[in-house]
Amino acid sequence: MENFTPIQSLIGGLLIGLSASILILSSGKVAGISGIVAGLMQFKNTPKEHYLWRVLFIAGLLISSALYALFTPLPVSEISASYSTLLIAGLLVGFGTRMGSGCTSGHGICGLSRLSLRSLLATISFMLSGFVVTYVLIHVI
């Protein structure tokens, strides 16, 4: 319970929801990170006006941690996995987001708020897979 931060979590969730709402209401775009990054990778197929907002969105994600660090220390994170494990995990996540037509942010935040059945099923499968893998890695292997 030492890492239980309900107030900070509530504020963070409200800010994420507000940001996703502003994006979809102002431009009709879904705040799914995999789709935003995929659009950046398709240089020839992405019109310039669609490219700029994607760059600004990703820049905001990266810059926000630096801004946060100006006011309070960032939490310490420790990654104990090897580079090969991280590479394989990243490839599996990328494959899963393409197979599921979106990522946890697109389905879990934006899709659920739009009452999308597809997003509900995708989010359930994301969460269930995470629970099973964590249980197996911690308690079985």
Please state which of the ranges 39-43, 59-63, 89-93, 115-119 shows the lowest mean pLDDT: 39-43
Is residue 114 pLDDT above 70, yes or no? yes
Look at residues 41, 34, 54, 37 and name the one whose alpha carbon lies nearest to residue 103: 34
pTM of this structure: 0.72
Which tokens belong to 34?
Answer: 């995999």
Q: Where are the domains of the chain?
A: 6-140
pLDDT for 1 equals: 64
Tally Cβ neighbours within 10 Å of residue 8. Answer: 10
Tally Cβ neighbours within 10 Å of residue 2. Answer: 4
Q: What does DSSP assign to residue 107? A: I
Q: What is the mean pLDDT of residues 72-100?
A: 86
**Residue 122 near residue 100 (C-beta atoms within 8 A):** yes
pLDDT, tens only, 32-75? 888 888 888 887 776 777 788 889 989 998 998 889 899 988 88
